[in-house]
């Protein structure tokens, strides 16, 4: 299998996607190119089909999930997983796009290019850490931060309609006093709600390597910046192709849409002192799919044999993850607050003349 | 012509204002050991004068300060606190006497007692006094209520200190509210215990709040992806089914010896507490 490298038409150096400039830049001669200019410069690369590009693995004994590729710059052999679509050469560190991985059925219709570059992602992460008082001291070490990786993650986007129905009992309760008695009047209503709720581009990641909750937590992505897919955007980042089919992410989509639709119906029931839901039925209809790559920065942190995963939306900078908690710091802080509260109480009691 | 109209208008205005001011003018008497305040004029002039006269006679006989307040507004204070504080404001801290509060704000009437009046008027006597006026208070016949209460307090004075309070002195009251050294020490240890409990509780709660803030934040709701222009309700119906009414009787609670915050205890048959101003008081409350 061959690899692709977008080389600078001016000096032949490797081109990378610049998140800040939103162009393709050459680090060697400083040239910048738009996507259209690259398409003209590399007419043979764009638009190839899977059949045209797929070649037999070079080494048969490799395990099922790995393949061997040759770097177009230095000729070194690169080992990559079968789902990897873009990576770096281990030796010359030039970006490598593995040809054919994102073509045919695996060719995304759209891509959201990285807007947050590595330095910015690191700043976001450091700022987030600075607000967390109870992180272990070694958490923010440069060694850990070096492990931050920018990856294009495959996402399925579902357009669908939810046929949502709900019945409930609504109660209006009035209370008043007359003489030495308190009266309570209750009026009961049968409440019915039915709606067609249209959802556009509900995302679900199609990569088994990406933690689903972590991916959902960095949503939303700004779809207005979505561009028709071009492999050139992958240059300089890692990229994955999907290994979970759209039919397999449907339950996740349905769960999210059902929960959201329920809350919409529930919020439309107003004016009651109490609402008791009785029946609800939510069905998805007319589901259509789009396959897209979204930009995500990843970091894994290992603390006392436990791994902590973080992700940053490569477009908006939204960060998600479970930070490690330094119990010793937490106990000291809590005891301090407790002490302060008890001292304040003591002062109030003494000043108030209670003691 | 114009001048005549203006004069007539001003005259009507002055008369109206004077009539209005008469109808809502607060009644207040504050002489020597007697204080009577009727801010909203629940009592007629003659009734007010009669109550003042009765209070004067009782004060002369007992040597006690006699305070009476009828009010619609006790602010954010409890009846006990309002009554205690009013006594402290009107009379001196360590004096003997009582303050009757007829509370038309929260409808819980209260009698605060201070000094020797705490010993004279035990909880049982105060409750009887409040109960004897209960029917009048419910009907808002404050004149009859006060006459009955003052009469009752007068007769209890004639009967002397109740048996259960015999042998006690003002010092015992101060001790019971934590004024002596030992009492203060016990109280300090008591408060230290409270402080320790507060320390433990606040520490544990803080720890769990801090730890929970390190949990994973929930995912973005799918509502972000709702296309409002293509979303519509097919049915929105609210159909009336039935209506029913239930009722229950309001319980009439009575309580003796209200205590708030400070040291509290008992002296014979009288429960005592300390007010925020530092005075020792006895007392009893009754809801209407």
For A87-121, how does the pLDDT look when each residue is reduced to its tens digit (9 = 90+)? Answer: 776 666 667 777 666 666 678 889 999 999 888 99
Q: What residues does A68 pair with on adjacent strands?
A: A79
What is the nearest CA distance from B268 to chain A, expressed in angstroms?
22
Which ranges of chain B would DSSP assign to H, the alpha helix?
A: 2-24, 45-62, 79-90, 116-120, 123-132, 134-138, 142-159, 170-176, 181-212
Distances from the Cα of B75 to the Cα of A49, A323, B273, angstroms: 82, 49, 21
Of the partner residues A194, A325, A352, the one whose CB lies closest to the CB of residue B235? A194
Q: Annotate A88-122 with DSSP letters as a single string.
A: E-TTT--EEEETTTTSGGG--SEE----S-HHHHH
Q: Which of A50-64, A67-81, A208-222, B11-25 has the highest mean pLDDT?
A: A208-222
Of the partner residues B199, B204, B219, the one whose CB lies closest to the CB of residue A342? B199
Of the partner residues B243, B247, B249, the one whose CB lies closest to the CB of residue A186? B243
Q: Which chain B residues in 233-262 lie under 8 Å from chain A, judged by CB atoms?
A: 233-250, 252, 261-262
Among A172-186, B23-37, B151-165, the range scoring the smallest mean pLDDT is B23-37
Test B246 with A192 for CB contact under 8 angstroms.
no
| Residue of chain A minimizing CA distance to B181 | A355
Q: B220 and chain A: CB distance < 8 Å anywhere?
A: yes
Test A192 with B210 for CB contact under 8 angstroms.
no
- Integer Cα distance of B272 and B121 in angstroms: 11
- Integer Cα distance of A343 and A341 in angstroms: 6
What is the nearest CA distance from A117 to chain B, expressed in angstroms?
23
What ipTM score was computed for the predicted complex, to two decimals?
A: 0.70
* pLDDT digits 0-9 by tens, A136-190: 877 766 666 667 888 889 999 999 999 999 999 999 999 998 888 889 999 999 9
What is the nearest CA distance from A197 to chain B, expressed in angstroms?
5
What is the nearest CA distance from A258 to chain B, expressed in angstroms?
9
**Cβ-proximal residues to A146 (8 Å cutoff; 6+ apart), any chain:** none
Among A20-34, A79-93, A262-276, the range scoring the smallest mean pLDDT is A79-93
Closest-CA residue to B261 (of B117, B127, B85):
B85
Contacts of B107 in chain A (CB under 8 A): none
pLDDT at A243: 86
pLDDT at B270: 84
At residue B255 the predicted structure's pLDDT band, cuts being 50, 70 and 90, is low
More confident residue, B83 or A306: B83
- Integer Cα distance of A219 and B224 in angstroms: 9
What is the nearest CA distance from B216 to chain A, expressed in angstroms?
5
Domain residues of chain A, as ranges?
3-107, 118-324, 327-355
Test A342 with B221 for CB contact under 8 angstroms.
no
Test B214 with A134 for CB contact under 8 angstroms.
yes
Contacts of A216 in chain B (CB under 8 A): 219-220
Q: B204 and chain A: CB distance < 8 Å anywhere?
A: yes
| Residue of chain A minimizing CA distance to B212 | A325
Closest-CA residue to A2 (of A44, A34, A36):
A44
At residue B9 the predicted structure's pLDDT band, cuts being 50, 70 and 90, is very low
Test A198 with B210 for CB contact under 8 angstroms.
no
Contacts of A132 in chain B (CB under 8 A): 214
Domain residues of chain B, as ranges?
21-168+255-287
Q: B211 and chain A: CB distance < 8 Å anywhere?
A: yes
Test A198 with B226 for CB contact under 8 angstroms.
yes
Q: B28 and chain A: CB distance < 8 Å anywhere?
A: no
* pLDDT digits 0-9 by tens, B161-198: 888 888 887 777 776 665 556 656 666 677 778 888 88
Q: Which fold has domain B21-168+255-287?
A: Diaminopimelate Epimerase; Chain A, domain 1 (3.10.310)
Test B203 with A338 for CB contact under 8 angstroms.
yes
Of the partner residues B243, B249, B262, the one whose CB lies closest to the CB of residue A353? B262
Of the partner residues A189, A323, A345, the one whose CB lies closest to the CB of residue B238? A189
C-alpha of B187 from chain center: 25
């Amino acid at each position: 299998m061959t690899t692709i490298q977008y080389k600078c038409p001016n000096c032949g150096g490797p081109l990378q996607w610049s998140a800040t400039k939103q162009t393709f830049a050459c680090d060697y001669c400083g040239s910048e190119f738009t996507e259209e200019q690259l398409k003209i410069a590399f007419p043979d690369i764009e638009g190839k089909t899977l059949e045209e590009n797929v070649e037999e693995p070079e080494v048969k004994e490799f395990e099922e999930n790995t393949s061997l590729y040759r770097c177009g710059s230095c000729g070194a052999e690169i080992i990559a997983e079968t789902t990897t679509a873009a990576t770096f050469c281990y030796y010359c560190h030039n970006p490598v796009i593995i040809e054919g991985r994102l073509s045919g059925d695996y060719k995304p219709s759209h891509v959201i290019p990285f807007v947050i570059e590595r330095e910015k992602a690191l700043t976001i992460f450091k700022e987030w850490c600075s607000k967390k008082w109870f992180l272990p001291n070694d958490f923010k070490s440069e060694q850990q931060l070096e492990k931050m990786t920018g990856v294009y993650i495959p996402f399925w986007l579902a357009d669908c309609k939810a046929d949502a129905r709900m019945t409930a009992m609504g109660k209006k309760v009035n209370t008043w006093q007359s003489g030495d008695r308190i009266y309570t009047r209750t009026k009961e209503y049968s409440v019915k709600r039915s709606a067609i709720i249209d959802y556009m581009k509900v995302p679900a990641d199609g990569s088994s390597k990406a933690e689903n909750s972590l991916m959902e937590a960095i949503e939303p992505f700004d779809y207005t910046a979505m561009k028709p897919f071009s492999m050139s955007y992958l240059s300089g980042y890692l990229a994955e192709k999907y290994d979970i089919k759209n039919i397999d992410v449907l339950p996740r989509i349905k769960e999210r849409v059902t929960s959201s639709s329920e809350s919409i119906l529930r919020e439309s029931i107003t004016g009651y002192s109490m609402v008791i839901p009785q029946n609800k039925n939510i069905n998805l209809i007319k589901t259509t799919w789009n396959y897209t790559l979204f930009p995500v920065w990843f970091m894994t942190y290992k603390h006392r044999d436990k791994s902590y995963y973080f992700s940053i939306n490569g477009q908006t900078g939204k960060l998600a993850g479970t930070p490690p908690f330094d119990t010793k710091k937490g106990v000291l802080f809590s005891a301090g607050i407790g002490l302060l509260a008890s001292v304040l109480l003591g002062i109030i009691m003494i000043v108030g003349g209670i003691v | 012509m114009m001048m005549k109209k203006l004069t007539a208008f001003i005259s009507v205005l002055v008369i109206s204002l004077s009539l209005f001011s008469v109808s809502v003018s607060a009644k207040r008497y504050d002489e020597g050991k007697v204080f009577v305040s009727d801010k909203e004029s629940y009592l007629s002039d003659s009734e007010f004068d009669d109550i003042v006269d009765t209070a004067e006679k009782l004060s002369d006989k007992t040597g006690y300060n006699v305070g009476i307040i009828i009010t619609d507004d006790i602010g954010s204070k409890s009846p006990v606190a309002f009554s205690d504080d009013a006594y402290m404001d009107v009379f001196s801290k360590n004096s003997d006497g009582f303050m009757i509060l007829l509370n038309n704000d929260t409808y819980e009437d209260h009698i605060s007692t201070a000094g020797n009046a705490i010993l004279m008027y035990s909880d049982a006597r105060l409750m009887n006094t409040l109960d004897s006026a209960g029917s009048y208070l419910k009907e808002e016949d404050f004149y009859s209520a006060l006459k009955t209460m003052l009469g009752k307090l007068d007769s209890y004075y004639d009967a002397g200190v109740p048996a259960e309070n015999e042998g006690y002195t003002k010092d015992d009251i101060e001790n019971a509210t934590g004024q002596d050294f030992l009492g203060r020490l016990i109280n300090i240890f008591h408060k230290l215990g409270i402080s320790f409990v507060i320390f433990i509780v606040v520490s544990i709660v803080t720890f769990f709040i801090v730890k929970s803030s390190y949990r994973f934040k929930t995912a973005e709701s799918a509502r972000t992806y709702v296309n409002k222009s293509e979303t519509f309700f097919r049915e929105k119906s609210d159909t009336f089914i039935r209506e029913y009414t239930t009722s229950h009787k309001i319980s009439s609670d009575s309580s003796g010896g209200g205590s708030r915050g400070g040291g509290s205890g008992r002296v014979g048959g009288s429960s005592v507490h300390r007010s925020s101003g530092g005075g020792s008081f006895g007392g009893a409350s009754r809801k209407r």
